[in-house]
């Protein structure tokens, strides 16, 4: 850096050249130089959570008589600016950094301290507002980073993911109601099975999403516990006994969520089981979305040479060489996000095992993958609902046509004429190309009125035994 482009800052290790315009300081600059790994940083939502903590901590420390009122005020004002996203470009440390996230905690402390100095009319790099002594007062990276993980994840789930899932559930449930009178062939092992109603099929999808919502909500209970107050190793050294309760109350007020102090600070800092649990619920959602998206693209396959029982909305041309081709691109987007979320869960699981003694040392990448899983899922669910599910149309004629052709219709005859006799009818139907109804009528296995009743596809979609009815 040319002389006019940097300023000299000092930390416990000595002098460091820092870009002159930067709000961050010496420790952040060291981290930038130490970790030129991926070019990926913590997501903005996580940086916002850090600023919430700094804002609340300054207020609590002021109330406890530990922090000068003027300094507390400018820290809060600077932290608010970070919360509002005004300084996102100042968070420059790579995600692949110290496993405690200390570099990014100090990045936040330095940005807030230097901006606070400006608000006091002072020069950046001064010590009137100190990143450690003032902004980080009563805190450690070891309790701040876990706290920020929980705040950012819970906000993302409650504000993005759960609303998106609620809309998808409503859309699928409406399709289940709209298509309850349409009978189609069921399939097991990808082979023809007995009839079902298209509404029943969509009802299954709706229930999958409903259960995913329940699982995710249940897993969120662990995120409501915050590690703040444990400082370095869980003992709360250098922290006023009332600091965690006061700060967490303010965090709850700022976010609208009912956060509480961790019941055991050693668990909260050494383990990340709550994050692993949430990730598991997101993985389960990904598996459910995979099943639904795959079914929809297969059911809509064609339009003339596939199953074609439903039609998906046309969203964009599907081929650069085949005119008129339209593909199930929204389903494919869901499948790719689901694969990514499952990969995120694998990473988070491995990271969760890195709780060595009193600290987990793989929190940054765990945070990134957790927030990706939440945000990507929310975004793709929203797009999938709006651009695919709500516009699905049933092909009733195709559904009825395929039922009558199915060999599985013979299943309804088995309780009346016996399994072996029914199997012979199925085999003849297959070899001759005739329907089960045609073969059964030709062999006069039952009177026409009884045969019509037993081979009624609608009746097959409900519980019951023909000869008992």
Please give the positions annotated as active site.
189, 319
374: left (phi over 0), alpha (psi -120 to 50) or beta: alpha
Tell me the residue ranges of DSSP E strands in 140-229: 183-188, 191-197, 225-226
Of 162, 166, 153, nearest to 255 by C-alpha is 153
- Total Cβ atoms within 10 A of residue 278: 29
Q: What is the dihedral of CA 18, 21, 27, 32, to 10 degrees?
A: -80
Integer angstrom CA distances of residue 138 from 253, 264, 305 = 20, 18, 68
Non-local (6+) Cβ contacts of 468 within 8 A are none
- Please tell me the distance from the alpha carbon of residue 118 to that of residue 123, in angstroms, as a whole number: 6
- Please tell me the distance from the alpha carbon of residue 26 to that of residue 13, in angstroms, as a whole number: 9
- For the chain, the C-alpha Rg in angstroms (whole number) is 30
- Total Cβ atoms within 10 A of residue 399: 23
Residue count of the chain: 469
Of 464, 440, 430, nearest to 192 by C-alpha is 430
End-to-end CA distance of the chain: 89
CB-based contact 398:425 (threshold 8 Å): no
**Partner residues linked to 19 by β-bridges:** 6
Beta-carbon-side half-sphere exposure of residue 130 (alpha carbons within 13 Å):
10
**Partner residues linked to 188 by β-bridges:** 191
**Partner residues linked to 16 by β-bridges:** 9
């Amino acid at each position: 850096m040319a002389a006019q482009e940097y300023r000299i800052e000092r930390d416990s290790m000595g002098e460091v050249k820092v870009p002159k315009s930067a709000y961050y300081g010496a420790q952040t600059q060291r981290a930038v130089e130490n970790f030129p790994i991926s070019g990926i940083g913590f997501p903005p939502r996580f940086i916002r959570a850090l600023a919430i903590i700094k804002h609340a901590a300054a207020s609590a420390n002021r109330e406890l008589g530990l922090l000068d009122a003027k300094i507390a005020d400018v820290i809060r004002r600077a932290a608010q600016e970070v919360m509002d996203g005004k300084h996102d470009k100042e968070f420059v440390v790579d995600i692949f950094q110290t496993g405690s996230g200390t570099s990014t905690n100090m990045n936040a402390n330095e940005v807030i301290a230097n901006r606070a100095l400006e608000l006091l009319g002072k020069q950046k790099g001064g010590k009137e507002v100190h990143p450690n002594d003032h902004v980080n007062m009563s805190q450690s990276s070891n309790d701040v980073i876990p706290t920020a993980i929980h705040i950012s994840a819970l906000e993302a789930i409650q504000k993005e993911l759960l609303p998106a899932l609620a809309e998808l559930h409503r859309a699928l449930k409406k399709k289940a109601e709209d298509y309850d009178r349409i009978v189609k062939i069921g399939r097991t092992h990808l082979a023809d099975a007995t009839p079902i109603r298209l509404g029943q099929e969509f009802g299954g999808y709706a229930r999958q999403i409903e259960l995913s919502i329940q699982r995710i909500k249940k897993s969120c209970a662990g995120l409501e516990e915050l590690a703040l107050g444990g400082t370095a190793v869980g003992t709360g050294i250098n922290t006023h006994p009332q600091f965690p309760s006061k700060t967490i109350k303010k965090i709850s007020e700022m976010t609208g969520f009912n956060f509480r102090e961790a019941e055991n600070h050693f668990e909260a800092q050494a383990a990340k089981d709550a994050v692993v649990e949430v990730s598991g619920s997101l993985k389960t959602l990904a598996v459910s979305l995979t099943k639904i998206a795959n079914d929809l693209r297969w059911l809509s396959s064609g339009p003339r040479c596939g199953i074609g029982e439903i039609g998906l909305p046309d969203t964009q041309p599907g081929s650069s060489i085949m005119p008129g081709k339209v593909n199930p691109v929204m389903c494919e987007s869901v499948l790719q996000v689901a694969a990514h979320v499952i990969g995120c869960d694998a990473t988070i699981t491995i990271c969760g095992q890195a709780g060595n003694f009193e600290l987990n040392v793989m929190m940054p990448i765990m945070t990134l993958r957790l927030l990706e899983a939440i945000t990507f899922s929310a975004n793709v669910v929203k797009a999938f609902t709006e651009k695919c599910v709500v516009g699905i149309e049933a092909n009733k004629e195709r559904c009825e046509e395929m039922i009558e052709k199915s060999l599985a219709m013979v299943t309804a005859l088995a309780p009346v004429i016996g399994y072996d006799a029914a199997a012979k009818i199925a085999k003849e139907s297959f070899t001759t190309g005739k329907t089960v109804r045609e073969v059964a009528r030709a062999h006069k296995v039952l009177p026409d009125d009884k045969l019509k009743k037993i081979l009624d596809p609608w009746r097959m979609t409900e519980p019951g035994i023909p000869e008992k009815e």
